[in-house]
Amino acid sequence: MLTLQYVPHHEFTQLSVDEKLRRILRSVRDDKILLIEGRLTSLEESELIKMTMELINKDFKGVEIASIDYTPKDSPFFERIKKDFANFLLRIKPGLTIIGPATLVKEIRKDPSKIELLTMEKKKK
């Protein structure tokens, strides 16, 4: 059975980068697929990869991750400025991040505007 967990942005606001990444990885290692409000920064992503590599063993094979920025590029200029300012105040990178364990998530296919998550087929007994 797959478990999808939605994580709103405010769950992470009081956490340091290290705490935030550890919390994400703890859930992923519990075989949960997380839908996180917002995107990680590039530096957070590279830290997440480093931490993931340190945890890999015969049961945990790593993660599949993808994020998407759904800010419309053609929205009016002042609308964008307003949203950017609000995001700056809330310390949020707009978008959505999907992350799950590589043992469950086979692939996350992404093109600029959509994400498809493919899960592993159950092994036949």
Partner 1 sequence: MIDKLGMLFRGFFNIFRKRKRIKLGIYGPPNAGKSSIANRISKDWLGEEFTTASAVPHETREIVVKEKITIKSKGKELTFNLIDTPGIATKIDYEDFLKFDLNAKEAKDRAKEATKGVIEAIKWLDNVDCVLVVLDSTQNPYSQVNITIIGNLAARDIPVLIVANKIDLRKSDIKRIESAFPQYTTIGVSALKGENMDLFYEGIFKLMK
When the beta carbons of 14 and 93 are compared against partner 1, the nearer one is 93
Which of 24, 34, 65, 117 lies at the binding interface for partner 1 (CB under 8 A)? 65
- Region 7-36 residues binding partner 1, contact defined as CB under 8 A: none
Which of 112, 121, 122, 123 lies at the binding interface for partner 1 (CB under 8 A)? 112
Assess 110 for contact with partner 1 (CB under 8 A): yes
Q: How far apart are CA 89 and CA 67, in angstroms?
A: 21
Cα 49 from chain centre: 12
Q: How far apart are CA 63 and CA 107, in angstroms?
A: 10
CA dist 32 to 5, 72, 75, 76, Å? 7, 29, 35, 38
The residue ranges that bind partner 1 (CB under 8 A) are: 41-43, 45-46, 49-50, 52-54, 56, 58, 61-67, 102, 108-112
